[in-house]
Amino acid sequence: MVAPLVITLLSLLPEPGRAQFGRNKLQYEAFEFKVLRTAHFDIYYYPREREAALDAARMAERSYARLSRILGHEFEERKPIILYASHSQFQQTNALPGFISEGTGGVTEFAKRRVILPFTGSYADFEHVLAHELVHAFQYDVIALGLTSQIDPGAFQPPLWFMEGMAEYLSIGKLDTQTHAWLRDAVLTGYLRTIPEMSLYSDYLSYRFGQSLWAYVGGKYGDHTIGLLLQRAMRLGLEGAVQVTLGVTVAELSEEWIETVRTTYIPDVARSGYADERAKRLTRHAFRPTSKDFASYVSPALSPDGRRLVYLSDRGNDLYSFYDLWLASAEDGKVLARLVQAARSPDFESLRFLNSTACWSPDGLQLAFVAQVGGRDALYIYEVAKRRIVHRITIDLDGIVNPTFSPDGMRVAFTGLRGGISDLYAVDVNGEHLQQLTDDKYADFHPSWSPDGQHIAISTDRGDVTDFEDLVFGNFRIALYNVGRGDVELLPFQDDGKNINPVWSPDGDAIAFVSDRSGVNNIFYWSRLENRLYQMTDLVSGVTGVTPLSPAIHWAARADRLVFTYFEDAGYNVYAVDNPRANGWPIESAPRRTLVAMSDNGSDNGHGPDEDRQRSSPDRLDLSSGQSRARSYYRVTDGFRLSSERPNAEQVAVERELTVEAPLNYAEMGLPDTTGFEQQDYKIKLTPDVIGQPVIGTQVGGYYGGGVYGGSYILMSDILGDHNVLLWGQIAGTFDDAYILTQYSYLRERANLSMAYQQFPLFRFWGTTATIDDGTGTVVEDRFERDVYRVLTTSVHYPLNVFQRIEVSANGFYVSRDSVIDRVLIGLPNSGDRSTRRLENMVFAGPSLALVWDNVLFGYTGPISGRRYRFEVGRYFGDIVVNNITVDLRNYFNFGGQVALATRLSTISRSGPDEHDFRVYWGGPYYIRGYDGGSFSIAECAASALDVVNLATTLCPVRDQLIGSSIAFASAEFRFPLFNYIDLGFVPLGLPPLGGALFFDIGAAFNSFDQLKWSRPPGADPNFVRAPVAAVGGGVRINIFYNVFRIDYAYPLHRPFRRSGIWSLSFGASF
């Protein structure tokens, strides 16, 4: 009777990743963090990023000065900012639970208000992300204050568009080119959402549409209303805050904004061209969410002869942004092969689809590309014809992106990150002779080696505007690095817009690049012979990758063919154009500027300082020759007046309007020097993450007797998340019946350590008796046996890579046992009495060792791709001696999307002198369906007992044949989606994802292997001869708030006295 309780305990042990499976979050390096204390922040960094961290601290203080002014809120205490030198190191952070995707540029978490982000190699890009995350820190501060003052803390749950859209708008003060593209495309395609529709979704569109909406609110009603809306929404809800602050309803605001967006962008849609008018589409992205055609195609690269093409695409990965490397024909777009799968093997954890691309060797035989492996980026040289890796070059850098071959194919240049700063590097194709070509704080991206080998074209923020003293960063420009001299020369015509991704024409005369100088990302090229700038495209939504700095174009080395990524239908397609210079026209004058959404009063919601953004009055101060520039003026309600003149009665002085953009254009605002910063060593200090609501009460009498009842819990960690402590307790009458759990986890090193102590009681009910006492009346006695478990656990998980790990654990058990009798006198309140009698205690302990692999991908209701296995051995000794062996093999064969065949082959074997104490029932929804323990009728049990020799051992052989200390079973389940959500465009009906399954289970429970037979002979006792039982059936799985509910109907094949199937309800993702 002890065994089932032991097994229950083992399933609850608080080891890190005690779950049987799961991927590994690795700490490849133990960073020695330091702390830089500024006026409002504690900056956590490690030594090799110190230079960049000092600049980041100054940026943070500058952003604080801007945001506290616009939001009308001040921090009461310093907020932590944790910096990492690259994205791969950012993914190792323990400050955030779970895995961090490649698309996550930074995170602000609520519990400790920690801002966690990596350097990107571009200070301008980093400051944008930093400011975005600091907006979240302000939002969480305001929300926390609101929660403490609310009667109903859950009255307002800010939707994603509210939070992310505000953060994006306040971080840059305008609409950027990417958001313009999304808005144009949404107007053209028809997926623009109203405010109520946005509130239903938590996807990427919420960032873009939310940013546009906040820009509209700031433009029409003033940027100062944004802070008011944030603070009032916590007290009044969204509808109330909008009405009080703006004087309109949410529906009216939504209608105004939608109309403004449409009237602003429809002329652009009508005026601009489409990619298929002058180029050939090679891929099949289309606006059909949840279908295979919704895949995107980015980072194209042409073979030297222009006949083949590689790109990164998530085709075939419906639920994930895992971008694989594909080979296709550049003639007709036919897919030829998938060369590399990302995120499914240790060698290719990520292919850096956001900011990198592959490149071909000059002979067209090899590819160079970057992939993350072992926690850092490596440069791969890949032989296309043989589908094999020739070289994997690991370099002591924090990050690598955008390789480019030299014309002779002997060297590869690339952008490397060290300490958060990007520079240009080159290395031989065999990994030798690494050379750093630049060494400064300037961003150096998208290197492209010239056909003659003398220059490397790059995109950089070099120029007169960039000033690292004042942390001012100019626009990205195209420049040439001279390989012989080592200097950098800026190209002409680079003063306007963002200019990135330079590529050379085959003859070396032209350099094409992507520029947003016209308000849309288009392709331009500079002719070296003519020293003239040409524009190749004028497209609706633009030539762009996923981010503003993603590579998007490539020119074949020997063929005059160019490919580009075009944004359309809420995704990305690849187009090809031959003789691209024939489509160009010279740029003779300043390019036109495309306006953002105009508010009703005609204000522009988001261009740079060169554009007039007067909102309050159409009047302008005329400083023509008729007026002296030496005069001073006051602004009044209807214009301006000379300071020497007395105001009219109607004229009232107007305060300067508070705007988001104004402080963004003043670099010195709030920018400190570093002399006031204080540097400290990092010290471990545990602070609460979560505190459970305490509950306490008392009871007299009752089922478990009188006493004190209640409990609470607290989860604590340090700022870096390396040290975690869980304290949990619950009293159930007496301290002997208390539930206690304490756990410490150390996650700083690669090997994760966990130590835990827990105590809990388990009761076994032996029955109720009633006796009549002439003196006192009827006495009812409930008899129990109580086992109080006190358990010490130590475990170490050592990840070999993201998918595989070794688990070593040791568990010690002390079980105090007693017999409990609770007596109650009928008819006499509060007459309860408890007596106990000590039984023999048990002490046992043992180690276990396991090897685990898991690279599966999940659908909405369970795994749909990949494989898992677990091999485990263990032994317990002491008062209980038993050996344990577990073999669990699972495979998931994906047929596209969420259609998959899942198979499982498992064996759990327990042997030894006390194996009989570990006998459990293996039927039911989690093992062999159709044999649920409560589904057997008396008649079925009686009929099956006819062949049993000794009925003392069982009263229901057909059921009890599934009781055993060991089991071997197999399952096959065909999984398919019924629907992910009911989709009417982008208006959901609120139905959660629903999946279907057809399954077959077979297995046998046994106590020793010699009991197993493939079939049981007639008349054989099922207690001693165990044969497999099987079931077939089907079911549905429904995902409700990330909890999976499973309903199965199983028809058992080895229950001859039952003619119908068995319904069962279970919880958790399918196996």
Residue ending a domain, among 586, 604, 632, is 586
Span 943-948, average pLDDT: 76
User: Domain for residue 951, yes or no?
Assistant: yes
Share above pLDDT 70 across residues of the chain, in percent, rounded to a whole number:
86
Q: Kindly state the tokens that stand for 749.
A: 């090193």
What pLDDT is stored for residue 613 in this prediction?
A: 30
**Poorest-pLDDT segment among 413-417, 765-769, 954-958:** 765-769
**Poorest-pLDDT segment among 296-300, 588-592, 872-876, 886-890:** 588-592
* Domain shared by 405 and 295, yes or no: yes
Q: What share of the chain is helix, strand, coil (3-state, %, to 5)?
A: 20, 40, 40
Q: How many CB atoms lie within 10 A of CB 643?
A: 9
| Mean model confidence pLDDT for the chain | 86
Q: Are 607 and 588 in contact (CB under 8 A)?
A: no
What is the domain-level CATH number for residue 908? 2.40.160.50
* Domain shared by 119 and 167, yes or no: no
User: Domain for residue 335, yes or no?
Assistant: yes
* Domain shared by 951 and 1059, yes or no: yes
* Domain shared by 944 and 929, yes or no: yes
User: Domain for residue 819, yes or no?
Assistant: no
Longest Cα separation, the chain:
120
Q: For residue 15, name the pLDDT band (cuts at 50, 70, 90).
A: very low
Q: For residue 534, name the pLDDT band (cuts at 50, 70, 90).
A: very high
User: Domain for residue 870, yes or no?
Assistant: yes
Per DSSP, the residues of 318-387 read: TT---PEEEEEETTT--EEEEEE-SSSSTT-SB--TTT---EE-TTSSEEEEEEEETTEEEEEEEETTTT
Q: Using one digit for the tens of pLDDT, what is the confidence trace for 461-475?
A: 999 999 999 999 999
What is the domain-level CATH number for residue 352? 2.130.10.10
User: Domain for residue 358, yes or no?
Assistant: yes
Q: Which residue has tokens 């062996």?
A: 885
Q: Which residue has tokens 């399933």?
A: 11
Out of 270-274, 603-607, 639-643, 986-990, the most confident range is 270-274
The larger pLDDT score, comparing residue 657 to residue 660, is at 660
* Domain shared by 113 and 256, yes or no: no
Give the separation between CA 367 and CA 405, rounded to whole angstroms: 9
* Domain shared by 342 and 387, yes or no: yes
Residue ending a domain, among 149, 177, 195, is 149
User: Domain for residue 1044, yes or no?
Assistant: yes
Span 365-379, average pLDDT: 95
* Domain shared by 331 and 407, yes or no: yes
Give the separation between CA 269 and CA 255, rounded to whole angstroms: 21
Hey, which bits of 747-880 come out as E strands?
752-773, 777-799, 804-825, 833-838, 842-854, 857-858, 863-878
702 DSSP 8-state letter: S
Q: Return the half-sphere exposure (C-beta side, CA atoms, 13 A cut-off) of residue 236.
A: 16
* Domain shared by 302 and 258, yes or no: no
Give the separation between CA 601 and CA 609, rounded to whole angstroms: 19
* Domain shared by 296 and 241, yes or no: no
Query: Per-residue pLDDT for 338 more than 60?
Result: yes
Q: Are 326 and 312 in contact (CB under 8 A)?
A: yes
In this structure, the strands spanning 532-535 and 553-555 are unpaired
Q: Using one digit for the tens of pLDDT, what is the confidence trace for 854-864?
A: 999 888 889 99
The backbone torsions φ and ψ at residue 252, rounded to the nearest 5 degrees and listed phi first, read: -65, -40
Give the separation between CA 75 and CA 87, rounded to whole angstroms: 28
* Domain shared by 171 and 213, yes or no: yes
871 DSSP 8-state letter: E
Q: Using one digit for the tens of pLDDT, what is the confidence trace for 479-499?
A: 999 999 999 999 999 999 999
* Domain shared by 353 and 421, yes or no: yes
Q: Using one digit for the tens of pLDDT, what is the confidence trace for 898-930?
A: 899 999 999 999 999 988 878 889 999 999 999
Out of 339-348, 654-663, 978-987, the most confident range is 339-348
Give the separation between CA 808 and CA 885, rounded to whole angstroms: 14
Q: Are 534 and 524 in contact (CB under 8 A)?
A: yes
Q: Closest Cα partner for 311 from 275, 339, 285, 291?
A: 339
Tell me which residue range forms the domain holding 416: 280-456+490-586
What is the domain-level CATH number for residue 82? 3.40.30.160
H or E segment at 64?
helix 50-71
Q: Which residue has tokens 């994997």?
A: 392
Reduced to 3 states (helix: H, G, I; strand: E, B; else coil), residue 736 is strand
Share above pLDDT 90 across residues of the chain, in percent, rounded to a whole number:
66
Q: Are 512 and 502 in contact (CB under 8 A)?
A: yes
Residue ending a domain, among 106, 124, 149, is 149
What pLDDT is stored for residue 20 in this prediction?
A: 82
Q: Are 541 and 520 in contact (CB under 8 A)?
A: yes
CA dihedral 962, 963, 968, 970 (to 10 degrees): 40
User: Domain for residue 426, yes or no?
Assistant: yes
Q: Are 947 and 1022 in contact (CB under 8 A)?
A: yes
Residues in Cβ contact with 595 at an 8 Å cutoff, skipping those fewer than 6 apart? 264, 604, 607
Tell me how many domains the chain contains.
4
* Domain shared by 437 and 366, yes or no: yes
What is the reported pTM?
A: 0.87
Give the separation between CA 161 and CA 204, rounded to whole angstroms: 9
Query: Per-residue pLDDT for 639 more than 60?
Result: no
Per DSSP, the residues of 464-486 read: SS-BTTTTB----EEEEEETTT-
Q: Closest Cα partner for 722 from 690, 748, 696, 703?
A: 748
User: Domain for residue 67, yes or no?
Assistant: yes
Per DSSP, the residues of 578-602 read: ESGGGG-EE--SPPP----PBPTT-
First-to-last C-alpha distance (Å) of the chain = 28
Residues in Cβ contact with 275 at an 8 Å cutoff, skipping those fewer than 6 apart? 281, 537, 539, 564, 566, 568, 573, 575
Q: Kindly state the tokens that stand for 858.
A: 């999940």
Q: Are 17 and 91 in contact (CB under 8 A)?
A: no
What pLDDT is stored for residue 659 in this prediction?
A: 83
Q: Kindly state the tokens that stand for 837.
A: 């009698």
